[in-house]
């Protein structure tokens, strides 16, 4: 869809994160001024490049909000990890953004947020809806990048996927697709006051995912299918924070109990191309998972 709002100033929170970085990269080819709102501009410059405008920003520090939102038109909002965001403490910053004149908030939500009202993402969605500002909610499926970021060590060191998903199937999406959809929502026509379920085309159980890993990497990758207790015991024993290990059980619960929904054609409809597949993801990130044999 064509961009009818040239030279908009767009603020991207979480700009060095899994999706935020992809939004920044996708916006490079669009007629907009991109502002990456980050905690550490110097470190972000190494990751994003010197051509991206960087401003210091922290949801917990109101003194950083004014400069970040100054003269801005659009906001890409990513809920930061941690306890503060679960309590909704990012909402005052969103209010400040709207007061400053931002007229469109694109929020990275989660698939099923409309069906599970207790999720913090849905609470944030409702708050944004009540501000009287245009919005776009990107309800994203399970990121393929979780396999390369959270579960990489198990693949590299043990040649296995160790996730508490049982025999259930996951609907996957590549963060590169979510970022591209986010960029389109910020700059294109027809996306305001819409909620999109953003998924890839793959719905697979982890035995199938392990088979793809094995074929692409050229070595056998197995799926361990750990139970909840086994998963927490080994994950915590390996040095992971106990709270995070337990949180992973909740993240994988919809898969374990067959509640992950179905793939959508959102990426194809908005971007005019097919989404990345799990096979393409593993191939593109091959080096992350250790040497092939």
| SS3 state of residue 69 | helix
Tell me, yes or no, whether 136 lies in a domain: yes
Task: Show which of 93, 122, 140 is a domain's final residue.
Answer: 140
Q: Where are the alpha helices (DSSP H) in 28-158?
A: 41-48, 65-69, 83-86, 91-99, 120-129, 145-149, 152-158
Task: Output helix, strand, coil percentages for the chain, rounded to the nearest 5.
Answer: 45, 20, 40
Sheet holding 169-173, edge to edge: 142-143, 169-173, 203-205
Which tokens sit at 194? 């819409």
pLDDT-wise least confident of 9-23, 120-134, 213-227, 237-251? 237-251
Predicted pLDDT of residue 82: 58
Q: Which domain holds residue 159?
A: 142-173+200-261+273-287
Q: Is the same domain home to 91 and 111? A: yes
Given this model, what pLDDT does residue 115 score? 83
Residues 112 and 169 sit within 8 Å (Cβ to Cβ): no
Residue 178 included in any domain: no
Helix or strand run (H / E) with residue 142: strand 142-143
Q: Are residues 152 and 54 in the same domain?
A: no
Mean confidence (pLDDT) of the chain: 92
- Same-domain pairing of 38 and 129: yes
Residue 160 included in any domain: yes
Asked if 256 and 149 sit in the same domain, the reply is yes
The answer to whether 222 and 208 are in contact (CB under 8 A) is no
* Rounded distance between C-alpha atoms, residue 232 and residue 234, angstroms: 6
pLDDT score of 258 more than 90: no
Same domain, 69 and 128: yes
In whole angstroms, give the CA distance from residue 291 to residue 284. 13
| Count of domains forming the chain | 2
Average the pLDDT over 73-98 and give the result.
Answer: 81
Q: In the chain, which ranges are continuous DSSP H helix? A: 20-27, 41-48, 65-69, 83-86, 91-99, 120-129, 145-149, 152-158, 175-187, 206-217, 228-237, 242-256, 266-271, 278-284
pLDDT at residue 293, as a whole number: 53
Same domain membership, residue 243 and residue 167: yes
When comparing pLDDT for 115 and 75, which is higher?
75
Q: Report the distance separating Cα 128 and Cα 137, nearest Å.
A: 10
């Amino acid at each position: 869809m064509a961009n009818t709002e040239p030279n908009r100033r767009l603020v991207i929170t979480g700009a060095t994160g899994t999706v935020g970085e992809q939004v920044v990269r996708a916006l490079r080819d669009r007629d907009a001024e991109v502002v990456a709102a980050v905690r550490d501009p110097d470190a972000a410059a190494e990751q994003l490049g010197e051509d991206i405008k960087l401003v210091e920003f922290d949801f917990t520090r109101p003194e950083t909000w004014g400069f970040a939102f100054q003269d801005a038109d659009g906001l890409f909002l990513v809920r930061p990890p941690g306890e503060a965001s679960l309590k909704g403490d990012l909402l005052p910053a969103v209010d400040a953004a709207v007061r400053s004149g931002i007229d469109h908030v694109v929020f990275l939500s989660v698939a099923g947020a409309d069906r599970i009202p207790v999720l913090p993402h849905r609470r944030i969605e409702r708050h944004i809806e009540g501000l009287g500002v245009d919005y776009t909610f990107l309800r994203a499926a399970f990121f393929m990048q979780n396999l390369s970021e959270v579960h990489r060590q198990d693949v590299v060191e043990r040649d296995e996927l160790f996730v508490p998903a049982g025999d259930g199937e996951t609907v996957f999406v590549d963060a590169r697709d979510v970022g591209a959809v986010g960029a389109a929502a910020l700059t294109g026509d027809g996306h305001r006051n819409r909620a999109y379920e953003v998924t890839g085309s793959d719905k697979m159980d982890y035995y199938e995912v392990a088979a793809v890993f094995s074929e692409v990497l050229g070595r056998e990758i197995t799926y361990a299918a750990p139970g909840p207790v086994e998963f927490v015991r080994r994950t915590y024993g390996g040095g992971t924070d106990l709270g995070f290990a337990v949180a992973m059980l909740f993240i994988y619960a919809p898969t374990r109990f067959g509640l992950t929904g179905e793939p959508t054609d959102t990426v194809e409809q908005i971007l005019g191309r097919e989404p990345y597949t799990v096979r393409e993801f593993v191939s593109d990130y091959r080096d992350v998972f250790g040497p092939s044999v």
